[in-house]
Chain A
Amino acid sequence: MIVVNTGKFSLITIAVGAVVMAFSHWVNVDYLYFASYTILQFIVLATAWNILGGYCGYVNFGSAAFFAMGAYSSVFMHKFFPVPIPVLIVIGALVSGIAGLGMGYLTLRLRGSFFAIATLALAVVLQTLVVNWDFVGGSRGAYIIRPETLELPGGIEINYIEYLFFLMLSLAVFAIITARTIERSQLGFGFATIRDDEMAAEASGVPTLRVKLIATTISGAFMGMAGAPFPYYIGYLQPSSAFGLEYAVNSIAMPMIGGTTSWIGPLVGAILLGSAQQYATVTISSAVNLLIVGLMLVGFVIIAPNGIVGLVQERLRKWRQP
C-alpha cells in the first residue's frame, strides 16, 4: 500500500476536481451539469453523514433537516439582504453547524439511540416551522429567479448552472479532503475509539462528549453547505422538496452501501447510487427508484455490513494470500 500524506492527497483530489471541471466545460451540456450537480450534492451529504455516522457510530436521521436549514437560510438572505452564493454557503454552514452542536449537546450525553430519535423528530419540527413562516414562503414555497449567466470580473460571462456546478464540485473536494484529514488525525482516532467502545474510550481519557460534539458540528455544517446553493439550483423551493425523505435516506444509504470506515465508501456509494437514480428517474418512476434504494439499504446492512469497499478489500485479501 502506498502511503499518501494529507498534503499530497489534497493536491491529488483538487487535481481530480480540476480535471472533472475542465472535462465538463469541454462537453458543456446543460443537462450534464444539472445531473452531476445532484450527484456532487450527494457526495457532500454522504461524506458529511459519514463523519458522524461512520467514524463515530452515531446515526443522524435528520440529514434532510440540516440540508433544508442551509437551503432556507439562503432563501432568507435572498429576501433580506442578497449576498453572493459563496457567502451563503458559509452562512448555511454556520446555521446547520450550530444546530448540530445544539442537538448534540442536548442528546449525546444520554444513550446513543436518543440522538437518532431526536434528529428524526427534528426534521418534522423544522418543517412545521418553515410551513408556518411566511417570510420564507411558508407552505406555498419560495421562488428564486436564477440568472442566466454570471459575469466574472474582467467581463467574461459564464453559464450560471456551470457556476453552481463549480461551487458544488469545490464543496465535494473540500468535504472529501476534510474527511480524509480527520481520518488520519488524532481527532479521527478519537472518533474510532467512540465507535468501537465508548466506555473504554472514556476510561482511557478520550473526552468523548467534546469529540462527539465536534463530529456533530462538522457533519451538520457540511450538510448546511450542501443545502445553501440548492434554492438557486431548483429555482422554486417548497418545504416538501427541501425536507424530502430522499435526502435522509440517500445520505444514510450511500455510506452504508459504499462502506463506512473510510472517506472512499461514501464517495463510491454516492457516485453509484446517485448515477443509478439519475438514470432510473428518467427511465422508471421516482417512487420505484426510492424503493430500490430502500431495499438496497436493508439488503446491504444485512448481507454486506462493510459495504462495497469491505467486499473489495476482502476479495483483495483472499487474492493476495491464496
Chain B
Amino acid sequence: MEISWDLFLNAIAAGLLLGAFYAAVTAGISISFGMLDIVNIAHPAFVILGSYIAYFFNINFGVDPILVSIIALPVFYLLGASVYQVYYLSFEKRGQDSLRGLAFFFGLLFVTEVGLILVFGVDYRYVEAAYIGPSVHIGIVDFPLRMLVPCLAALALFGALQLFVTRTFMGRAIMAVSQDQLALQLMAVDPIKIKRIAFGVSIATCAVAGALLIIIQPVEPSVGREYIGRIFAICVLGGLGSMPGTLIAAVLLGVVESLTATFYGPSWAPAVSFGFLLLTLAFRPAGLFGR
C-alpha cells in the first residue's frame, strides 16, 4: 500500500498544479462566454496561437516564454477587439448570433489550426527554459518546476483578472454589461465598447495561457481541440461568469483528471471533462457558484 499512497499524493499534487493552469486557460472563456454570452469556441485556437508565438521567439531569440507572452498581451488584446468588432457588425447587430455566430467561430478555430499546420507543420514543438527539468521535493511528493512555474504564473494571471473585474471601473462595467445591457445604455454608456474591451481582455489571456501550455507539454496545432471540452466543462461547472467558481472547478477537474491518468492511464483523461460537463448539465446547469 506504501507505493499506492505515494502515487496517490503525487497525483493529487500534479492535479492541483494542472488545475491552476486550467484556470488560466478558462479565465478568458469565463469572460467571453460567462459574462458576454459570446460562445467563442475558437478560444483554444488562440491559446495554441499563443503557444506558437512563445515557441517562435524562444527558439529563435532565446527569450523566456512567459516574458514573450507578456509582451504579446497588447497584440492579442487588439486581435480580440477586432474579432469582436467583426462579430458584432456581422452577427450580433443583425441578431444572427446563434447559428451563424457559432459557425463563424468554428471557422476561425479551423482556419487558425490549419494555418498553424501550414506554417509550422504537425510535429510537436517545445520551448527551452531553465525551469524545465528540475523539480522540488517535499517529503514523498514531487513538484516539477515545469508545472510549478506555470501554476504560479496562472494564479498571478487569475488574481490580476479577479482584481480587474471586481475593483476597477472598467471591470465593474463589464460585470454590469453581463447583467443588464439595456440599463447600461440608459446610463449613457456604450455597451458595445465595453464588450469590445472585455473580449479583447479575454483573448489577451490566451497569450499567457498559450505560453504556459507549451511549458507544460509539447504542442502541435490540434492540441487545442482537447481543451474545448475542458474549458467549457470548467466554465459551466464553476457557474457562468463566476471567477472564484472557475478556479475551484478548474482545480477539481485537474485533480480528477490527474487521478484518472495515474490509475487508469493517460488516454482516458480527456473523457473526464466530458463526464463533468454532462453531469453538470444534467443535474445542476447553473454550476457550483451560478447565480
Contacts and interface: CB of A to CB of B under 8 A. Distances in A.
Interface of A: 53, 57, 59, 61, 106-107, 110, 112-114, 116-118, 120-122, 124-125, 127-129, 131-132, 139, 195, 245, 249, 252-253, 256, 260, 287-288, 290-291, 293-295, 297-298, 301-302, 305
Given A57-B98, A59-B103, A302-B104, A124 B228 contact: yes
Nearest to A255: B103
B226 A294 contact: no
A120 B103 contact: no
Task: Name which of B103, B111, B229, B267 has the most chain A CB atoms within 10 A of its CB.
Answer: B103
Given A106-B282, A128-B267, A301-B103, A294 B273 contact: no
Nearest to B115: A291
B278 interface: yes
Contact of A121 (B99, B104, B110, B277): B277
A61 B106 contact: yes
B123 to A, nearest CB: 14
A57 B117 CA distance: 32
A288 to B, nearest CB: 7
A291 B111 contact: yes
B285 interface: yes
Contact of B100 (A125, A290, A301): A301
B229 A125 contact: yes
A260 B102 CA distance: 14
B268 A121 contact: no
Interface of B: 33, 39, 41, 86, 90-91, 94, 96, 98-100, 102-104, 106-108, 110-111, 113-115, 117-118, 222, 225-226, 228-229, 232-233, 236, 265, 267-268, 270-271, 273-275, 277-278, 281-282, 285
28 contacts: A57-B98, A57-B99, A59-B102, A59-B103, A107-B281, A113-B33, A118-B278, A118-B281, A120-B41, A121-B229, A121-B232, A121-B273, A121-B277, A124-B225, A124-B228, A125-B229, A125-B270, A125-B275, A128-B270, A195-B99, A245-B113, A260-B99, A287-B117, A291-B111, A294-B107, A295-B111, A301-B103, A305-B100
A288 B111 CA distance: 10
Contacts of A245: 110, 113, 222, 225
B281 A112 contact: no
Contacts of A298: 104, 107-108, 111
A123 to B, nearest CB: 8
Contacts of A116: 39, 41, 102
Contacts of A110: 281, 285
A246 B93 CA distance: 30
A291 to B, nearest CB: 4
A121 B233 contact: yes
B232 A291 contact: no
Nearest to B118: A287
Contacts of A112: 98
A124 B229 contact: yes
A272 B4 CA distance: 58
A302 B281 contact: no
Nearest to B226: A124
Contacts of A106: 278, 281-282
Contacts of B113: 245
